[in-house]
Structures are given as structure tokens and as C-alpha cells.
Amino acid sequence: MIRIGLGRDLHRLVQGRRFLLAGVELEADRGELGHSDGDVLAHAVTDAVLGAAGLGDIGALFPPSDPRWKDADSMELLRIAFGKVKEQGWHVVNLDSVVTCERPRLIPCRECIRAALAAALEAPLEAIFVKGKTAEGLGPIGEGAAVDAEAVCLLEKQGSTN
């Protein structure tokens, strides 16, 4: 049986915060605002994986109203979420993702980001991909006020044909 999931997230970019993508810190003059560490890619990937398994979403699992998740390491949240997915017998076939922001450029850090996601999802590196885009100067992302991430994840489990 295979299932596909989609995740999307957007965070404001503000001074005095770190810019994290899948736990990898990129050099930037602004970082992601959020209740947790604000890691927009980790959040989109978590939602894609949970959605594919039909196990809810990141907001239900880790509500922002819960002080336990204040400044949380979002890659740890992804590992917890993936643990629940794995418990149901799923493994990741592949994950693809796009991060859109004006700055910083993602490409120099792409291999580190892929490796971090591959480790968290217990998948081979070639099953994980990350693309960087800009918004061509348009809208809040183009003005450098926000960063957006989208992810799709295909899961598979043995023992059923539907």
C-alpha cells in the first residue's frame, strides 16, 4: 500500500532569530519567528509525513498552546512524528520539497539539509530532495518578510494492496 502526503508552512522572518532548515542553520540577518524554533522546512515535512499516514498534523500533535513546545527543536518533533508513522508499519519511499525565500540561498547547504532529513526519516539520501526558489521580489516572501516551505512524501507499507 502506498500513500502520499502534502505539507506546507510559512513563517515570518525577523531579526534576532536563527534561520533553520531541517535543523541546519544558514547564515542570515533574519530568522524564522515561531513558538518552536520556527524551522519551516521541518514543519512542512512533518505535516507531509503525518498526512500521508493519516495521523493528523503538526498542530494537533504539538499544539502551540502547550508550553512544552516553546522553542522546541523542530527536528525532534519530526522524529517523534515519524516514530508514530513507523509504528503503523510505514517507511518513506521518497520526499521532495521546495523552500521559497529571497535570502539566504539554500543551495550551498542543500546536501546538509538532505542528510538531516534522510537521517530523521530513516531513508536513503537519494530518496530525499530539497529545492530552493525565490519569489522574484514579489509579495511578503519577495520582500524578505517570510519564508515558505512545501513538501510531498510518499509512504509505503507491506501486507496490503489498497
Binding site for Mg ion (CB under 5 A): 9, 43
Q: Residue 25 CB, nearest distance to Mg ion (Å)?
A: 17
Q: 118 with 127: CB under 8 angstroms?
A: yes
Residue nearer to Mg ion on the CB measure, 9 or 148? 9
Q: Residue 157 CB, nearest distance to Mg ion (Å)?
A: 27
- Cis peptide, bond prior to residue 104, ω within 30 of zero: yes
Residue nearer to Mg ion on the CB measure, 43 or 114? 43
Tally: H helices and E strands in the chain: 5, 7
Residue nearer to Mg ion on the CB measure, 28 or 42? 42
Q: Residue 134 CB, nearest distance to Mg ion (Å)?
A: 20
Residue nearer to Mg ion on the CB measure, 30 or 43? 43
* Rounded-to-10 torsion of CA 98, 103, 108, 114: -30
Q: How far apart are the C-alpha atoms of 20 and 72, rounded to whole Å?
A: 12
Name the residue among 101, 106, 105, 121 with its Cα closest to residue 42: 121
The residue nearest Mg ion at its CB is 43
State how far Cα 112 lies from the chain centre: 14
Which grid cell is 54? Answer: 493519516
Residue nearer to Mg ion on the CB measure, 9 or 102? 9
Q: Residue 104 CB, nearest distance to Mg ion (Å)?
A: 19
Q: How far apart are the C-alpha atoms of 108 and 110, rounded to whole Å?
A: 6
Q: Residue 43 CB, nearest distance to Mg ion (Å)?
A: 4
